[in-house]
Chain A
Amino acid sequence: MIWQFDIIILIFLVITAVISLRVRDLLSASMIFGVYSFLICLLWAEMGAVDVAFTEAAVGAGVSAVFLIATVFNTNRRSSD
């Protein structure tokens, strides 16, 4: 575990989490949520939990981002709040 690398990932995690909550465009919100999942996946891999990292990359970043985007296309793209 390299703590400098950790700090960078954690800072980007907070940034992507805040952006995906604040952004009005739901499509970009779901894309940034995928980025968030990839950062979490990096964090798992770097801590040695490779199985969890693999699951996070496949499920969190891959398929759930696609599910969110498929749902956004069937609703309004702009968030109302």
Chain B
Amino acid sequence: MGMRILGFIAVFVTGALLTYGVADFPKWGDPHSPANAGEVSTYFIQNTKADTHVPNIVTAVLADYRGYDTMFETVVIFIAGVAIMAILRVLATIPPGHQPVQYDPRKKIAYDPIISVTCRLIVPVIQLFALYVVAHGHHSPGGGFQGGVILGASFILIAITSNLRSALRRFSEKRFIFIACAGALIYSGFGLTTLLFGRNFLDYGVLSKIMFDTDEVMARSHSMLGVEIGVMLTVTAIMFAIYANLSSRGALRGGL
């Protein structure tokens, strides 16, 4: 009981201090707040259009000005997926007597035809939308992370509505590990290519030399798309890998 009172006091004091701190925040949408009027954000707002021809400043900042940051975000997702696979697939032991949720072809109770047919129809639409989100990230909200998650979710939907086995037939373990590595390598490959031309890491402008009919500005725009595709590949593969391992306790059999 004493610990509960102490815990309540700690939570209450922290909450009160946080509420007190909120009073010092700048007003919502204040044009003179440090986040809006700082030197860096002023540069982004004024020069993004001229530097990259990308209307969506968020994408330009994410994939170009702060490309290094985004590259390691992709690596973080990659490592998270690899760690989950290592823990569940390699280190974990399934306790004796545990029965995984099994797919039994003789009993079709769990797999309602209405649900599976509806999802079979809707999965291509979801995947097309995911590709649109990635390709249109320059002009509208979206990009590699969101598109990759949506694309991964479409494979998860196949696994939920039919079974894990038929999802793994489309997207096998070998394939998703390969695609996850390929995505991270595409991103860092763009950086290494700029190094070969004697520029800074991920300074895409110089890639106009190996792209057809582009100047430095459009080369940056196109390279952003390439980088986003790398992010999408990694995120798609890792999302499905995490689901497949979590739902089957790393056995990649049975499952939901």
Contact = CB atoms under 8 A, between A and B. Distances in A.
Interface of A: 1, 47-48, 50-51, 53-55, 58-59, 62-63, 66-67, 70-71, 73-74
Contacts of A73: 101, 247, 256
Given A63-B149, A63-B153, A70 B28 contact: no
Contact of A54 (B29, B146, B256): B146
Given A67-B242, A73-B256, A54 B247 contact: no
Interface in B49-77: 56, 58-59
Nearest to A75: B249
A66 B243 contact: yes
Given A58-B145, A67-B246, 8 more contacts: A54-B146, A55-B145, A58-B146, A59-B145, A62-B153, A70-B247, A71-B246, A73-B256
A63 B239 contact: yes
Contacts of B56: 51
Interface of B: 28-29, 56, 58-59, 100-101, 133, 141-143, 145-146, 149-150, 152-153, 156, 160, 239, 242-243, 246-247, 249, 256
Q: Give the dominant DSSP class at A's interface.
A: helix
B141 A51 contact: yes
Contacts of B243: 63, 66-67, 70
A59 B149 contact: yes
Contacts of A55: 145-146, 149
Contacts of B256: 70, 73
A66 B143 CA distance: 22
15 contacts: A51-B56, A55-B146, A59-B145, A59-B149, A62-B149, A63-B149, A63-B153, A63-B243, A66-B243, A67-B246, A70-B256, A73-B247, A74-B100, A74-B101, A74-B247
Contacts of A51: 56, 58-59, 141-143
A3 to B, nearest CB: 10
B41 to A, nearest CB: 14
A66 B146 contact: no
B58 to A, nearest CB: 5
Contacts of A47: 28
A61 B242 CA distance: 16
B76 to A, nearest CB: 13
Nearest to A68: B246
Nearest to B84: A67
A55 to B, nearest CB: 6
Given A51-B141, A55-B145, A66 B28 contact: no
Listed residue (B101, B143, B150) with the most chain A CB atoms within 10 angstroms of its CB: B150
B11 to A, nearest CB: 12
